[in-house]
Amino acid sequence: MEVKVLNIQGQDTGKTIELKDSIFNIEPNDHAIYLDVKAILANRRQGTHKAKERSEITGSTRKLYRQKGTGNARRGDIKSPLLRGGGRVFGPRPRDYFQKVNRKLKLLARKSALTYKMRDGEIIVVEDFTFDQPKTKKMVEIRNNLNIPEKKSLIVLHSNDKNVYLSARNLKDTDVIEVYKLNTYSILRYKHLVFTESSINYINENYDK
């Protein structure tokens, strides 16, 4: 399918660009999206959580009172999990949350997410642009020109542009990403996806395999 290419003033440039049906108009696979997003979020976890158990608590091992005859519950030392300051029962331990997802499944999930975005009319294509210097005000103007103010939006560039990145850094609802870093979660997380022409060409070349 062909879509219009806009400039950063939000005006139609008269150019169109092809969004391949094999990428942006497939039969979405919801389960593939679920598996990929679950793995992405799991792999972000640091896994360094730790709580001390009974054997790791510093304290006396003296039995607090005799086993029988006091009318109290049986209890050992002061490190008992039942007491304040005691060890934790089955507390968290450091672990690796990594989940592996096959390359073909990741690609299917990304295509499915892009298809949903395309069907909802939430994909915008603009001419390649850059800034001479970081300017948050200029990024706000672009958002207003594209009619996406106050909506979470992701600007997808072909390659790293420091000035564009710094211009969007102070905007809580706008992020910038390089196209090769695009994943299923980032596609679905934002209301609007703003692609540059060169980033669309990258997707057409690398996702259609």
Ordered by start, the domain boundaries in the chain are 2-28+101-206, 46-96
Cα–chain center distance at 151: 17
CA–CA dist 183, 162 (Å, integer): 21
Query: What does the pLDDT look like over 28-82, one tens digit per residue?
Result: 999 999 999 999 999 999 999 999 999 999 999 999 999 999 999 888 999 999 8
What pLDDT does residue 169 have?
Answer: 93
- Strand 153-157 to 12-18 pairing: unpaired
What pLDDT does residue 208 have?
Answer: 84
Q: Which of 155, 193, 183, 157 is nearest to 171 (CA)?
A: 155
Query: What does the pLDDT look like over 95-131, one tens digit per residue?
Result: 999 999 999 999 999 999 999 999 999 999 999 999 9
Q: Looking at domain 2-28+101-206, what is its CATH homologous superfamily? A: Ribosomal protein L4/L1 (3.40.1370.10)
Query: What does the pLDDT look like over 9-31, one tens digit per residue?
Result: 999 999 999 999 999 999 999 99
Residue 209 has pLDDT above 80, yes or no: no
CA–CA dist 81, 168 (Å, integer): 49
Instruction: Specify whether the CB–CB gap between 33 and 112 falls below 8 A.
Output: yes
CA–CA dist 79, 59 (Å, integer): 6
What pLDDT does residue 103 have?
Answer: 95
End-to-end CA distance of the chain: 18
Q: What is the average per-residue pLDDT within 190-200?
A: 96
Mean pLDDT of the chain, nearest integer: 94
Model pTM?
0.84
DSSP 8-state assignment for residue 88: P
Q: Which two tokens stand for residue 105?
A: 């499944």
- Strand 12-18 to 123-126 pairing: unpaired
**What's the pLDDT band for 149 if we cut at 50, 70, 90?**
confident
